[in-house]
Amino acid sequence: MNIKHLSAFLFVYCGHVFCQDTLKYTLEDIFQLAASNSREVKISTLDKKGSEFDLQAAKYNRLPQISGRASADYATNMPIYDNGLFHTPSQHDVIHFLYNTGADFYLNLYKGSQNELQIRDKQIRDELSEVKLQETVAQTKLTACFAFLELYRAYIFRNVIKEDIDDQKQQLKEISDLYKSGVVLHSDVLRIELELSKREYLLVEIENDIKRLSQKIQLIIGSENSKIIFPMIVQEQARTETFENSFLSASENAFSLRKSELMEKLSMLDVKKQRAQFMPQLSLEGSFTFANPQIFLYPYNASWYTLGIVGLKLRIPISNWYLNKPQMEKAKLEQLKEEEAHLNEEDHLKNELLNASLQYEEATVKRGICEKNIALTQENLRIIKDNYFQSTALITDLLDANMNYLKSIFELETAKMNQLQYYYQIEFLKGSL
């Protein structure tokens, strides 16, 4: 079992055996499909479009308000009790049918910049929706990436186990022949058969892991295909920048910091909106009336008439100076809270980025150690195997040597996948995935 040719063997093996039963994807393919087909991304995209309509509605609020009206009424005669309530009243004849049509006009000229502040509020929320959409895309890609790397490792484990099972069967045959010749004990044959059954059960578990991870990836990328996914060879990624440079990049592009910064801006805007409640309001208002009868001015008239009124209206909200004081203080507290939240997110990001960087370095070191261990365990297995068949080593020594070699292969592949996972996690924290 040669670990140097394992990835190449895996690719060729799939190309000839599983090409009709699997869907072959690269990691870049998974990234593209997850970003375009994920249901979570689609939901976040709809939220983004909704925020765009909110911004458009806020801008439309600056336009004049025009409304039409119409009414038709019937008035009864008006009794007048000129001799007291307990005497028959005289009837005052009135105009029975009243008609009124017209239009009203309103244009806000100044409202303490409330409209402008509302537009700015919607703009910031639209930016926040955009950042959330980008974060959802990146988070979906990261989740798909982790599942893809686990699936890639599962395929490698499967082929390692299959090759090891073939080796164990050949070894079992050789030991069985020695047992028939009376060279080894029957217990040696039983131990090898037991280890072989463990390998076969482990192969079943790996096969189920492949199905489970394939289904998980299918759900992430929004695919309805039921075929098993086969990951193509994963390109290794090496980090060259320092933690300080990574944190500098994350300070500008990290999703969590961008969101907290926008929330801080919203809190500052809320303070300005509360201050605008104290400002006077100036509007241009007008109305046009086409009605019958004319009862607007005395003497009244039963004929149709038209009347247009236009003018400026000034409103000074004096009561707001004391009614809005608690809301003003609360808005200031919210601003302080968001400022602290932003600093807290910055500390949290720095800690997460440092942990991911250290874990990446640990995985890199472990990978180098595992590569050395494979050569050592492989040579140890060769020596123990020769000694066993020369009757100078026990079957337990042979099984331990074989297990240590198999374990070193698994540890190396796990270290490789962990290294890639931490690499992409760092890219996500930086906001560049």
Among 199, 180, 182, smallest CA distance to 191 is for: 199
What phi, psi does 168 have (nearest 5°)?
Answer: -65, -40
The DSSP bridge partners found for residue 294 are 301
For residue 75, what pLDDT is reported? 84
Q: How many domains is the chain built from? A: 1
Asked if the structure places residue 415 within a domain, the reply is: yes
Asked if the structure places residue 385 within a domain, the reply is: yes
For residue 128, what pLDDT is reported? 94
Asked if the structure places residue 153 within a domain, the reply is: no
Asked if the structure places residue 262 within a domain, the reply is: yes
Rounded-to-integer distance, Cα 142 and Cα 148, Å: 10
Indicate which CATH number applies to the domain containing 430: 1.20.1600.10
Q: What is the mean pLDDT of each run of 10 residues along the chain (433 residues)?
A: 47 46 84 90 92 91 91 87 84 84 90 87 93 93 93 93 90 86 84 89 93 91 80 79 87 92 93 87 91 82 87 87 85 91 92 93 92 92 87 85 91 92 93 86
For residue 21, what pLDDT is reported? 66
Rounded-to-integer distance, Cα 256 and Cα 267, Å: 17
Asked if the structure places residue 211 within a domain, the reply is: no
Are 334 and 345 in contact, with CB atoms under 8 Å apart? no
Are 253 and 69 in contact, with CB atoms under 8 Å apart? no
Asked if the structure places residue 133 within a domain, the reply is: no
Asked if the structure places residue 232 within a domain, the reply is: no
For residue 16, what pLDDT is reported? 44
| Residue 170: half-sphere exposure toward Cβ, Cα within 13 Å | 7
Which residue has tokens 């090898």? 192
Domain that holds residue 359: 238-280+318-433
For residue 8, what pLDDT is reported? 45
Asked if the structure places residue 134 within a domain, the reply is: no
